[in-house]
Amino acid sequence: MRRPLIAGNWKLNKTIKESRQLSMQLIDELSNITDRDIVIAPVFTALSTVSEIIGSSPIQLAAQNCYPTTSGAFTGEVSPLFLQDAGCRFVIIGHSERRQLLHETNAFINQKLIAVIHAELTPILCIGETLQQREEGQMLETLTRQIEEGLAGLTADQMATVVIAYEPIWAIGTGKTASSEQAQEAHAFIRELLQELFNPTVAGQTRILYGGSVKPENIDNLMAQKDIDGALVGGASLKAEDFIRIVKFL
Ligand code: PGA
């Protein structure tokens, strides 16, 4: 069975001091949880501080982005090697905010994904359609392109380490969650696609998270869906109480 994974994407929020406080609150409440993965993704500058705080607790660290080349003359960039050095186990790749604001392409996201795998970290590949694409009937085509191009060149063994996050863009930070049925439909489609591109074992093992206005009020219904294996949580991950409740989904 697929082990559930709840990840908090803190985006560009929380100073080092605030990150320390929030991580300590999470450890207090979550340190005896063993049946699911718990991941938090602070800003780069808070990573090593948070890494020290979470230590050997069940909470694991993620970065929100990376650059695909290990080291060298790449001013302002951070590679998977340095993220690993800071204590990360996961890296979020291709978040829709980066696709939209920084014009990241599927090809560039694919390079990052491969670099993350080579550094033996777990990539969380984000995909999702805009409202316009959904309304114009382009949703499945968009997801297919993001998956095919984002995962290009991966072997089935490499794919076994990848986590996918389906985040419909119209649901991110808007308070409008996809209904559990809409999310399940997209997740089932993604799993079918993985079966075609790789094999049934990989498709059956890959964890597919849902993201977009996940809250304490909707997490239980989302997690009850057969193909939803976890959540990527933005806004609600900034409040200890909300994130703790989401991690403790029923
Ligand atoms: P949200 O963000 O939970 O605030 O909608 C999710 C995300 O962008 O990963």
Ligand 1, atom 6, residue with closest C-alpha: 234
Express the helix, strand and coil content of the chain in percent, nearest 5 each. 45, 15, 40
pLDDT attached to residue 177: 80
Residues 6+ apart with CB under 8 A from 54: 23, 27, 40, 60, 61, 87
Give me the residues of the chain with pLDDT under 50, please.
Answer: none
Distance 169 CA to ligand 1 centre (A): 9
Count the domains in the chain: 1
Global confidence as pTM: 0.97
Q: What's at 217, amino acid-wise?
A: E
Instruction: Based on the residue annotation, tell me whether 97 is a catalytic residue of this protein.
Output: no
The answer to whether residues 61 and 82 touch, using CB atoms and an 8 Å cutoff, is no
User: Where in the sequence is the domain holding 104, given as residue range(s)?
Assistant: 5-247
Is the CB of residue 128 below 6 angstroms from any atom belonging to ligand 1? no
Is the CB of residue 41 below 6 angstroms from any atom belonging to ligand 1? no
Distance 148 CA to ligand 1 centre (A): 23
Distance 8 CA to ligand 1 centre (A): 9
pLDDT attached to residue 32: 94
CATH of the domain at 118: 3.20.20.70
pLDDT attached to residue 175: 79
Is the CB of residue 204 below 6 angstroms from any atom belonging to ligand 1? no
Which two tokens mark 25? Answer: 């609150």
pLDDT attached to residue 49: 98
Is the CB of residue 88 below 6 angstroms from any atom belonging to ligand 1? no
